[in-house]
Structure 1
Amino acid sequence: MTGDANDETHEDTNGSPDERRARRIAAWNGARRRLSEGLPAGTIAGRLARLAEEGAAVHDLESGPDLYGDGIVAELEERTAALLGTEAAAFFPTGTMAQQVALRCWAGRTGSPVVALHPMAHPERHERGALGRVSGLGTVHLTDEPRPPTAEEVREASEPFGALLLELPLRDAGFVLPTWDELKETVAAARERDAVVHFDGARLWECAPHFGRTLPEIAALADSVYVSFYKSLGGLSGAALAGPADFVDEACAWRHRYGGQVFQQWPAALAALVGLERELPRLPEYAAHAKVVAGALRAGLAEAGVPWFRVHPEEPHTHQFQVWLPYDAEALTEAGVRQAEEEGTALFRVWSAPGPPGLAMTEVTVAAPGLEWAPEDVRGALAAFLARVPARGRSD
């Protein structure tokens, strides 16, 4: 069964928000063909069984669970520090806490409570003003352009700051990165102002192909680095803060004060070790194929005669990118759900409207399942998706 462009009878307006969300997740996870893994689903028993099966390949499951960060958590910290080439690393339950602690520690060391960062950076957009309300820090913005700040903008900042936070990649701007030379110049400009540099590297793991450098080479540019264990690696939760040993020791003291000294964290640590072993080596392959998928989407949208569209960046910097269309976000989300339910194909997931009225955006992630999609598969799935967008959902 397929939908007609003029069919307006399938818009999902029934049920509570939780019920509608459950329907979307069930549709995406039930799809036979998708570009990346689905959202967490299934039973607790099923997820524990999968974790035990996969975890046996990376850790001795006959060993005891961790207590306040020893055992498997300490092993994960050592593995992370080795991968990033830093002296030490500390596990945190969330990236929000890790970065709060990092920037608070640097404020104490530099004597400046001001952090320079992009207004689209995660601490500004997605943490409810925690830098100011929890840690007593202020922020200064170097640019409003949807891209990382340049060296010139760092040098010309009108206010002093003690730390420069660079989100790599800048997710809300389209998972965009500077070039390697641009990154080095921006870091050097911060040093000229006697500022330390912190990398918000929630997705740093997949940046190496774009820069053409190893993870230790990238991390070496910064004074501290935060990485996530679930955004790209498929872990359950958790993050790490990496840097000099004395800095990490201080961060651990603040981690305790912030409530991050958790009694046991072995499930998250085990899942993170699985991700480092299984997903990390494949990220360059995912990033390369994302360029193929993005090119096929551009070609398909042009062939379909869509009045305006944008695939951003045109050539993705990582394995994630944005797609913009001139249609209603709810109608596009519903079209994707119907395609997953009716055809078993999940091309797009949630659409939002973060830009001008009449435009909608979705984020596309290409991971292991997406490697099987040839350009013609992408164009075919796109055509079937557009056929399900109702006439009233189009702004043309």
Structure 2
Amino acid sequence: MTETSEQDERRRRRAAWRASDRKLWQSPAEHRIGERLTALAADAGRVYDLDEPIDSYGNGVVEALEARTAALLGFPAAAFFPTGTMAQQVALRCWAGRTGNNTVALHPMAHPEVHERGAFGVLSGLRTVHPVREPRLPTADEVRDFDEPFGALMVELPLREPGFLLPSWSELVAVVEAARERDAVVHFDGARLWECAPHFGRPLAEIASLADSVYVSFYKSLGAMSGAALVGPTELIAEARAWRHRYGGQLFQQYPAALSALLGLQRELPRLPSYVSHAKTVAEALTDAFRKRGVPWFRIVPEVPHTHQFHVWLPYQADELEEAAAAQAEQTGVTLFRAWWAAEGSPPGISVTELTVTAPGLEWTADDVRSAAREFLSRLS
């Protein structure tokens, strides 16, 4: 397939998703510029006084967002960043200067190792090591007994690549304590921390308090246009602001992103527990549909979702699954699945997709899910 035909196919799929009457979630790719601007203009006055002066290099509405985020996570200070990649670069660089050790222990499937082109080492002089290689978070013993010293332990909550996985609360506490025994600081990659509270059964501030610093995203769970925050001790955040400037992250005006983030905190954050709960219903209904249709092999990972996102594995080629999903959306107005891919290291002929449940998905009953799954499977050879 040529690059042009691939682009055409992506446009076709996005158009089908956008036109669907029923879907489990709304992809950012489905939005139009005018729609986002109109919605932001209509709703922003609910979270901030629009007669206030426009922000300039991080004051005004950006400061309001920082204060709100710090309060929610129980830290004294927060700094807004244009991207999570930059926020975590800065956080770990600052901690390396304080600990005197530039080695960061993290999972080999964590975001910086998979999606950031080696930025830790190339830009920040950080070295990474891996206490565990299995598709799960490390145990306390693996952290405690790791054979190399490290200055910081970075824990991604949830660990996205293997299926948005979370440890139990006691396991997480033990891992943090093991790092402390080694005189290491703990940093949470909390891009999706917002939806972890139901799994742990604890408020966000209590979860975040286990770490020395936390990064959160505003668009991955909350639907903002962009942006991230780093929360931590006042002195660390002050230094982080200096490095943010050096890295080119002190933007002149950021009010669209900041306002959309405040809206996400007001609107989406309270809804996340319902999304997490309903994801369990969706996963159970899919399992039932696959079994009754006699699918020779499949996996829901985790079997009971830890957040409102999880993985579905099926024994078909990715292009066949994507075509079936696109055709279902076009012909029935129902979008169940979207992009599929062959996971690295998996046997040939097995593909995986990420499934997300947000507000549109709450309208689906278990019978709706089973019906859509049966219709989807009927399109596969």
Structure 1 counterpart of 2:135, which letter? P
Q: Distance in 2 between matches of 1:99 and 1:200?
A: 8
- State which of 316, 319, 326 in structure 2 corresponds to 1:330: 319
CA deviation after TM superposition for structure 1 residue 157, in Å: 0.5
Check if 1:76 corresponds to 2:65.
yes
Structure 1 counterpart of 2:368, which letter? D
Q: Distance in 2 between matches of 1:46 and 1:376?
A: 32
CA deviation after TM superposition for structure 1 residue 60, in Å: 1.6
Q: Distance in 1 between matches of 2:180 and 2:28?
A: 41
Structure 1 counterpart of 2:263, which letter? V
- State which of 281, 285, 295 in structure 1 corresponds to 2:274: 285
Residues 219-242 of structure 1, C-alpha deviations (whole Å, 9 max, x = no match)? 100000000000000010100000
Q: Distance in 1 between matches of 2:192 and 2:35?
A: 27
Q: Given that residues 14 and 20 in structure 1 are in contact (C-alpha distance below 8 angstroms), is that contact kept between their aligned partners in structure 2?
A: no
Match of 1:386 in 2: 377
Q: Distance in 1 between matches of 2:245 and 2:63?
A: 16
Q: Distance in 1 between matches of 2:361 and 2:2?
A: 30
Check if 1:65 corresponds to 2:54.
yes
Match of 1:121 in 2: 110
Q: Given that residues 189 and 215 in structure 2 are in contact (C-alpha distance below 8 angstroms), is that contact kept between their aligned partners in structure 1?
A: yes
Q: Distance in 1 between matches of 2:192 and 2:300?
A: 20
Q: Counterparts of 1:7-156 in structure 2 under 5 Å?
A: 16-156=5-145
Q: Distance in 1 between matches of 2:191 and 2:379?
A: 35
Check if 1:225 corresponds to 2:225.
no
Structure 2 CA distance for partners of 1:125 and 1:14, relative to 1, 3 Å: closer
Structure 2 counterpart of 1:366, which letter? V
Check if 1:363 corresponds to 2:364.
no
Q: Which runs of 5+ in 2 are unaligned?
A: none
Structure 2 CA distance for partners of 1:248 and 1:236, relative to 1, 3 Å: same
Structure 2 counterpart of 1:279, which letter? E
Match of 2:230 in 1: 241
Taking structure 1 as the reference length, the TM-score comes to: 0.94
Residues 95-131 of structure 1, C-alpha deviations (whole Å, 9 max, x = no match)? 0000000000000000001000000100001100000
CA deviation after TM superposition for structure 1 residue 64, in Å: 2.2
SS at match of 1:160: coil
Q: Given that residues 200 and 227 in structure 1 are in contact (C-alpha distance below 8 angstroms), is that contact kept between their aligned partners in structure 2?
A: yes
Q: Distance in 1 between matches of 2:366 and 2:30?
A: 29
SS at match of 1:134: helix
Percentage identity across aligned positions?
65
Q: Given that residues 276 and 306 in structure 2 are in contact (C-alpha distance below 8 angstroms), is that contact kept between their aligned partners in structure 1?
A: yes
Match of 1:252 in 2: 241
Q: Distance in 1 between matches of 2:95 and 2:2?
A: 49
Structure 2 counterpart of 1:296, which letter? A
- State which of 286, 297, 303 in structure 2 corresponds to 1:314: 303
CA deviation after TM superposition for structure 1 residue 368, in Å: 0.6
Structure 1 counterpart of 2:88, which letter? Q
CA deviation after TM superposition for structure 1 residue 266, in Å: 0.5
SS at match of 1:48: helix
CA deviation after TM superposition for structure 1 residue 19, in Å: 1.6
Q: Given that residues 25 and 39 in structure 1 are in contact (C-alpha distance below 8 angstroms), is that contact kept between their aligned partners in structure 2?
A: no
Residues 357-379 of structure 1, C-alpha deviations (whole Å, 9 max, x = no match)? 11100000011111111111000
- State which of 147, 166, 169 in structure 2 corresponds to 1:180: 169
Give the root-mean-square deviation of aligned CA atoms: 1.2
Structure 2 CA distance for partners of 1:109 and 1:276, relative to 1, 3 Å: same
Q: Distance in 2 between matches of 1:230 and 1:43?
A: 16
Structure 2 counterpart of 1:202, which letter? A
Q: Given that residues 154 and 186 in structure 1 are in contact (C-alpha distance below 8 angstroms), is that contact kept between their aligned partners in structure 2?
A: yes
CA deviation after TM superposition for structure 1 residue 156, in Å: 0.9
Q: Which runs of 5+ in 1 are unaligned?
A: 1-11, 392-396
Q: Distance in 2 between matches of 1:315 and 1:356?
A: 24
SS at match of 2:229: strand
Check if 1:374 corresponds to 2:365.
yes
Question: Structure 1 stretch 22-31 or stretch 108-117: which is displaced more?
Answer: 22-31
Question: Structure 1 stretch 249-258 or stretch 13-22: which is displaced more?
Answer: 13-22
Aligned length: 379
Structure 2 counterpart of 1:73, which letter? V
SS at match of 1:353: coil
Match of 2:259 in 1: 270
Q: Given that residues 29 and 39 in structure 1 are in contact (C-alpha distance below 8 angstroms), is that contact kept between their aligned partners in structure 2?
A: no
Q: Distance in 2 between matches of 1:96 and 1:119?
A: 16
Q: Given that residues 311 and 324 in structure 1 are in contact (C-alpha distance below 8 angstroms), is that contact kept between their aligned partners in structure 2?
A: yes
Q: Distance in 1 between matches of 2:8 and 2:321?
A: 18
Q: Distance in 1 between matches of 2:348 and 2:122?
A: 32
Q: Distance in 1 between matches of 2:93 and 2:196?
A: 26
SS at match of 2:172: helix
Q: Given that residues 78 and 88 in structure 1 are in contact (C-alpha distance below 8 angstroms), is that contact kept between their aligned partners in structure 2?
A: yes
Structure number with the bigger relative contact order (C-alpha 8 A, sep ≥ 6) is: 1
Residues 155-201 of structure 1, C-alpha deviations (whole Å, 9 max, x = no match)? 11011000000000000011000000000000000000000000000
SS at match of 1:61: coil
Q: Distance in 2 between matches of 1:44 and 1:348?
A: 24
Q: Counterparts of 1:153-232 in structure 2 under 5 Å?
A: 153-232=142-221
Q: Distance in 1 between matches of 2:3 and 2:125?
A: 44
Q: Given that residues 103 and 152 in structure 2 are in contact (C-alpha distance below 8 angstroms), is that contact kept between their aligned partners in structure 1?
A: yes
Q: Distance in 1 between matches of 2:374 and 2:68?
A: 44
Match of 1:347 in 2: 336
CA deviation after TM superposition for structure 1 residue 13, in Å: 8.6
Q: Given that residues 17 and 30 in structure 2 are in contact (C-alpha distance below 8 angstroms), is that contact kept between their aligned partners in structure 1?
A: no
Residues 50-98 of structure 1, C-alpha deviations (whole Å, 9 max, x = no match)? 1111212111222222100001000000000010010000000000000
Match of 1:6 in 2: none
Structure 2 counterpart of 1:268, which letter? A
Q: Distance in 2 between matches of 1:218 and 1:157?
A: 24
